[in-house]
Amino acid sequence: MKELFDHYSTEASKAVTKTYSTSFYKGVSFLDKKIRNDVHGIYGFVRFADEIVDSFHGFNKQELLDDFEKDTYKAIEQKISLNPILNSFQFTVNKYKIDHALIDAFFHSMKMDLNKVDYTQSKYEEYIFGSAEVVGLMCLKVFVEGDQKLYDDLKPYAKKLGSAFQKINFLRDLKDDFEELGRLYFPHIGEDGITPQDKLKIEEEIEKEFAEAYIGIKMLPKSARLGVYVSYTYYTKLLAKIKRKTIHELMKERIRISNEKKLVLFFQSYLKNSINFL
C-alpha cells in the first residue's frame, strides 16, 4: 500500500532531523502534531542538499546536486519519489502550494557553495536569502496552514529569523567553514580575517534581526508558536555564548549548549508560552 511507503518516507525525514540536529528535532516536537511531519519533510530535503556540498568530498558534488535538483522537481511534478526524503518533501510542497521560486533560490545558494566566492554585501545577502530565509518561508507556509494573508503579514519576520539563525551558524562554524571548506561568508573582511570590530558588528545585526523576528513569533498561530519560540530561544542562548568568546576561541571549537541547559531552556519556553508571556 502506498500509505505504508508514505509513512516510511515521513519516518525517514524525521530520522534525518533527529540524526543531524537534536535541537531542531526538539523544537519541532513542540509544534502541533498536525504540522510536525511537514516540517520534518522540509528539513530532510534541506539537510540532504547541504550534505552534498559540505560533506561528500571525493565525489562529483556538482553532478550529485544537479541530479538531486532534477529529482526534486520530478518528485513534485509526479507527486511521488522512490527517494523517501524527496517523497516526504514533495508531499509538503504540494499540500501547502509552496512557491517553486523558493526552491530555486535554495538550490542557487547550494550551488554557490560548490565554488569559492568572494562575498560582497550583495552576494552575502543573496546567499543568506537562498540558504536560510527561503527555508523559513517554506516552514511559514506550513505554520499558517493556507492563510495567505497571514503568510504575507509574517513573511518579513520569518526572513529576519532565518537570517539571524544563519549568521549565528556562520559564527559557530567558523573553524570548519574556513579550515575544511575554505569558506568565509562575511563580506568586507580584510587579509587579517575577522576582527573584534567585525564580530561586534555581526552580533549587533543578529540582535536587531532577533528583535524584529520576535514580533512575528508572537503573531504565529498557537499550533506553531511554541516550536518556533523554542528554536528562537535556543539560538539567542547560542548568540549570548558566542558574544563571550573571542575570534580565536571560535576558531578552536564549535559553540554548543549543554543538554542540561537545553532542558531548562525548553521548560522555560514552555512555561512562558503557557501563561501567554510571549
Across the chain, what does the average pLDDT equal? 92
User: Is pLDDT at 267 greater than 80 in this prediction?
Assistant: no
Residue 276: predicted pLDDT? 64
CA distance linking residue 43 with residue 54, whole number of Å:
16
Query: Tell me: the pLDDT tens digits for 187-206?
Result: 877 666 788 898 999 999 99
pTM for the model: 0.92
Q: Are residues 234 and 168 in contact, defined by beta-carbon separation less than 8 angstroms?
A: no
Query: Tell me: the pLDDT tens digits for 115-130?
Result: 888 889 999 999 999 9
User: Is pLDDT at 186 greater than 90 in this prediction?
Assistant: no
Query: Tell me: the pLDDT tens digits for 211-231?
Result: 999 999 999 999 999 999 999
Residue 52: predicted pLDDT? 97
Residue 195: predicted pLDDT? 87
Query: Tell me: the pLDDT tens digits for 28-72?
Result: 999 999 999 999 999 999 999 999 999 999 999 999 999 999 999
Residue 135: predicted pLDDT? 97
Please tell me which residue, 80 or 178, carries the higher pLDDT value. 80
Residue 22: predicted pLDDT? 87
Task: Kindly state the average pLDDT of the residues 252-268.
Answer: 80
Lowest mean pLDDT among 54-63, 70-79, 133-142, 265-274: 265-274
Which residues have CB under 8 Å from 124's CB, separation 6+? 185, 186, 187
CA distance linking residue 82 with residue 89, whole number of Å:
12
Which residues have CB under 8 Å from 65's CB, separation 6+? 49, 52, 53, 107, 110, 111, 114
Instruction: Please choose, from the candidates 206, 189, 209, the residue with its C-alpha nearest in 3D space to the C-alpha of residue 198.
Output: 189
Domains of the chain in start order, with CATH, are 2-274 (1.10.600.10)
CA separation, residue 230 to residues 45, 112, 267 (Å): 22, 30, 9
Residue 118: predicted pLDDT? 85
Angle (nearest 5°) at CA 195 between 189 and 199: 90
User: Is pLDDT at 277 greater than 60 in this prediction?
Assistant: no
User: Is pLDDT at 151 greater than 70 in this prediction?
Assistant: yes
Task: Kindly state the average pLDDT of the residues 134-163.
Answer: 97
